[in-house]
Chain A
Amino acid sequence: MRAYIRGPLAETAAGAIAADVLKACVHCGFCNATCPTFQITGDELDGPRGRIYLIKQALEGEPVSRLTQHHLDRCLSCRACETTCPSGVEYHRLLDVGRAEIATRVARPWHERLARRTIRFLTGHRQLLRALLILGRKIPAAQPKRAAKPIAAALSRKMSLLTGCVQSAAAPHFNASTTRVFAAAGIGLTETPAARCCGAVAFHLDAADEARAHVRRNIDAWIAELDAGSEAIVVNASGCATFIRDYPDVLADDPEYASKAHRVARAVRDPVEVLRESPPIAASAPANPRIAVHDPCTLRNGPGLEGAVARLLSGLGYEPQPISDTHLCCGSAGSYSLLQPTLSHRLRADKLEVLTANAPAAIYTANIGCWMHLGETSSTPVRHWIEAVDAVLGAIQETQTRETP
């Protein structure tokens, strides 16, 4: 399907991305079949084919209003549609262009602007965010504590580790576990203070320029690390990893950063990608082997790592239970759970039902957003899968694990 993009956008790299994506779509409608929001509302405006059309008409210069914005806001960016599309349409790239364009043409009501600004502000203020999350009972006050484990192995390899904004406030133990597990594999991880937040929150909340500033700062910091011998950028929040892989699009109009953005994007690894190359060996059997693994959309639909975590944990003696409808998003989707509570809560209830169908002892996921969102209402404990690896490596005691508030 060809689009006639009009206005200043037509001359930009973003306009070229949009034109390319639109050209590949043949309007067959297959993608609607796996879209979580279309399944709930039954309105084609809430399905990928409809959203592609909404963006197309906006880019072609037709009048746009809150109507288009509303239906694009309801998209989870889960990319289930992309895994279904036979024509290889990279929907999320078009969505990013469309959302940014519409943000410049349609004014949001004050309460939406305020909500967005508040979320962006908080992600930049770790202590305050942590206090609020605890007060709001989104996370438990106590963190899991583990006996400090002496790192025995020689750390012959080194990699960088993303600190994360929300994660460093809500679940700093994810990085602690990751560091221990990687150390056991002989890999030293370092966090770079200059690259703390990936920039996704700002980017998805109508503050593209603010996000670009983050992104440039991160690229500078990581390029320095890569030049100094760091092998990869390890990101244990799959949502952040997905956004970093999109840096080349985010800075598409910045020739100075184009090649650096590609280099950083290529260096991103989910921990599972590193660990599966030489799988860790369990020192003890898991205490409660029956588990459920929730692959976040950002792990399965972007990098195509569906099942990788479950396979790794199976190798360590865990017994991941079969799960139906794995393609459906849990409703977390970054700040979506705060901005679209109705759809988000419905998706969470459905997801928890399938995850707990076989009575697992715990649910393991790979993204901070899913962890917080599911943990908020789940009666089964929710953890990061790296904790499951950590628990069976070496003689550490599971003194206190995170339980749901």
Chain B
Amino acid sequence: MLDQFDSRIDPTFAPVDRQRLIARLQEALPERGLITKTEGMRVYETDGLAAYRGMPSVVALPETTAQVSAVLRICAEMSTPVVARGAGTGLSGGALPFPGCVLLSMTRFNRILAIDAQARMARVQPGVRNLAISEAVAQFGLFYAPDPSSQIACSIGGNVAENAGGVHCLKYGLTVHNIQRLELVTVDGEVLEIGGDALDTPGYDLLALITGSEGLLGVITEVTVRLLPNPVHTQVLLAAFPDVRQAGDAVARIIAAGIIPAGLEMMDRLAVNAAENHVHAGYPVDVAAILLCEIDGAAGDVEDGLSRVGAICLEAGASEVRQARDEAERRRFWAGRKGAFPAMGRMAPDYYCIDGTIPRRRLAEVLTEITRLSGVYGLPVANVFHAGDGNLHPLILYDAAASGEVENAEALGGAILELCVAMGGTITGEHGVGREKINQMCVQFSTAEIETFEALKASFDPAGLLNPGKAIPTLARCAEYGAMHVHNGQLPFADLERL
């Protein structure tokens, strides 16, 4: 399995004198700031992708930027790899410990430092939960727009590192469009300010480079986010479909009609049932799929938009179209969608969430192919996703305890991602590459492109100590993976037309 790092095709480091490392870190960290016992470190061996596990050498829990710098300096001097961890909700194994690394947990950076309602900005520490920002600024009629489904728990630092998206990103953009300034500590302990309080800064747009860098370029110790005023009016429409293809078709038509919903999400039957058990939102449970479409803005525009969306859904074959009766129901509709992944725990002991994107007009086709693949591999697949973005989240249901199922789930996941690429899409929409999609990077990018990524990484972190073995594959890995998967110079699904 991919959580096993392979010295032939992954980065390697010389062994470190652990006692010395511990002694030095102890000096740099406060009391209760270092965990060294295996019993206490196990909890940190995995993130939201629980099938992947790895043990760090120690877990560090710094509280200040100065402590982060000191830890990084020690690691740089002792050539010890470092993996940053936010809330550990990542789904691609980004925070999976590299064996023997220092795991740097940022959870204690949990303070909101300043709110400037007038300038619509908030300066927060990276461990602050995404939702806590919107809660804190609600009193000023403001909110922080990117809302990953995990927003109740995931950290803003993790959001920046993954360039997280969410339900409302269709209209308001991803994390990268909603942040202003970062404080970043480099591998040798230097503290950089990236971006600034003005909307644009001179020079290269390093802010965009760091956003989505998955802990490979530095450790984020402060984030200034942009805030938006709450829309005057918001309403959500629920449409039920007897066939998933009709739902996919409705999405394509809504977008083609030039409507920009605040959110456009789809859930299929399995997902709807699991979510309904959790929130009792009143979802229709005997349908093949539902769409949730939210429109916000001036009251007249919302009404107009919703009636157009409703008509399109009915035309596409919806069996039912209705609006949330009140604000409480609107919230329940979204709570069900946001809790839909973990609600799968009610259906199977484990799920594996895939994160490919595809051109929206091919939704129906891809969903049909996923159903076929699910049959071939013999594992059920539930679909919950950001339909408006064409960002799929097939959830493969399996049981890690059943022999061969982990490998089978991994293989099915790989096949689905390759299908996405073949359809003209990408292997990740928002969950990042992490460890999980490292091989598919070889499918998505050419050797020259990967060399460029490596050069960029080396300019920040020449020794490759930050989050090694993640996000960017070594060329040796691609050569090996390519030999396995590309037969006679042909990619999988070579029969499919490429964009």
Give residues in A with beta carbon < 8 Å to B.
1-2, 4, 23-34, 38-39, 41-45, 49-50, 53-54, 57, 62-65, 67-68, 84-89
Q: Is B39 an interface residue (CB 8 A)?
A: yes
CB distance from A102 to the nearest CB of B (A): 11
A88 touches B351 (CB 8 A): no
Q: How many residues of B contact A (CB 8 A)?
A: 45
Partner of A53, one of B43, B152, B350: B43
Segment touching A, from B159-167, B223-231, B339-347:
B339-347
Query: In the docked arrangement, what's the CA distance between A316 and B308, Å?
Result: 48
Q: Is B42 an interface residue (CB 8 A)?
A: yes
What would 8 more interface pairs be, CB under 8 Å, given A28-B341, A31-B153? A24-B345, A27-B50, A33-B153, A34-B152, A49-B43, A62-B42, A65-B39, A86-B339
Partner of B153, one of A4, A29, A57, A65: A29
Chain B residue, CB-CB nearest to A324: B135
Partner of B43, one of A23, A50, A84, A89: A50
Q: Which residues of A contact B278 (CB under 8 A)?
A: 86-88
B150 touches A42 (CB 8 A): no
Segment touching A, from B103-111, B207-215, B412-420, B452-460:
B103-111
Q: Supply 19 A–B pairs (Cβ within 8 Å), ascending by A.
A: A1-B349, A27-B47, A28-B89, A28-B153, A28-B341, A30-B152, A32-B87, A34-B152, A41-B32, A42-B107, A42-B108, A42-B127, A45-B35, A50-B43, A62-B42, A86-B341, A86-B342, A87-B343, A88-B278
Q: Which residues of B contact A34 (CB under 8 A)?
A: 152
A84 touches B39 (CB 8 A): no
Q: A26-B50, A88-B277 are in contact. Are A32 and B153 (CB under 8 A)?
A: yes
Q: Which residues of B contact A65 (CB under 8 A)?
A: 37, 39
B37 touches A67 (CB 8 A): yes
Chain A residue, CB-CB nearest to B46: A27
Q: Which residues of B contact A29 (CB under 8 A)?
A: 47-48, 87-89, 150, 153-154
Number of cross-chain contacts by CB at 8 Å: 120
Q: A2-B350, A42-B110, A42-B127 are in contact. Are A54 and B153 (CB under 8 A)?
A: no
B40 touches A85 (CB 8 A): no
CB distance from B280 to the nearest CB of A (A): 12
CB distance from B44 to the nearest CB of A (A): 7
Q: Which residues of B contact A44 (CB under 8 A)?
A: 43-44, 88, 105, 107
Q: A2-B401, A28-B342, A42-B108 are in contact. Are A33 and B131 (CB under 8 A)?
A: yes
CB distance from A349 to the nearest CB of B (A): 18
CB distance from B379 to the nearest CB of A (A): 15
Query: In the docked arrangement, what's the CA distance between A25 and B349, Å?
Result: 7
CB distance from B128 to the nearest CB of A (A): 11
B89 touches A45 (CB 8 A): no
Query: In the docked arrangement, what's the CA distance between A86 and B438, Å?
Result: 29
B150 touches A1 (CB 8 A): no
Interface residues of B in 377-423 (CB under 8 A from A): 399-401
Partner of B48, one of A23, A27, A64, A88: A27
Q: Which residues of A contact B131 (CB under 8 A)?
A: 33
Q: A2-B401, A4-B401 are in contact. Are A89 and B48 (CB under 8 A)?
A: no
A26 touches B39 (CB 8 A): no
B350 touches A43 (CB 8 A): no
> Which 3 pairs between the two chains have the least Cβ-Cβ distance?
A87-B345, A86-B339, A2-B401
Q: Which residues of B contact A42 (CB under 8 A)?
A: 61, 107-108, 110, 127
Chain A residue, CB-CB nearest to B50: A27
Chain A residue, CB-CB nearest to B335: A86
Q: Is B129 an interface residue (CB 8 A)?
A: yes
Q: Which residues of A contact B107 (CB under 8 A)?
A: 38, 42-44
A2 touches B346 (CB 8 A): no
Q: Which residues of A contact B400 (CB under 8 A)?
A: 1-2
Q: Annotate B336-376 by CB proximity to A: 1 below 8 A, 0 otherwise.
A: 00011111111001110000000000000000000000000
Tell me which of B42, B108, B345 has the highest count of chain A C-beta atoms within 10 A of its own C-beta: B345
Q: Which residues of B contact A68 (CB under 8 A)?
A: 39
Q: Which residues of A contact B47 (CB under 8 A)?
A: 27, 29
Chain B residue, CB-CB nearest to A32: B153
Q: Which residues of A contact B277 (CB under 8 A)?
A: 88
B39 touches A64 (CB 8 A): yes
A84 touches B152 (CB 8 A): yes
B339 touches A30 (CB 8 A): yes
Query: In the docked arrangement, what's the CA distance between A84 and B343, Å?
Result: 11
Q: A44-B88, A63-B39 are in contact. Are A1 and B350 (CB under 8 A)?
A: yes
Query: In the docked arrangement, what's the CA distance between A29 and B39, Å?
Result: 19
Q: Which residues of A contact B275 (CB under 8 A)?
A: 86
CB distance from B86 to the nearest CB of A (A): 10
A87 touches B342 (CB 8 A): yes
CB distance from B453 to the nearest CB of A (A): 29
Partner of A1, one of B44, B50, B129, B153: B50
B61 touches A25 (CB 8 A): no
Q: Which residues of B contact A32 (CB under 8 A)?
A: 87, 153
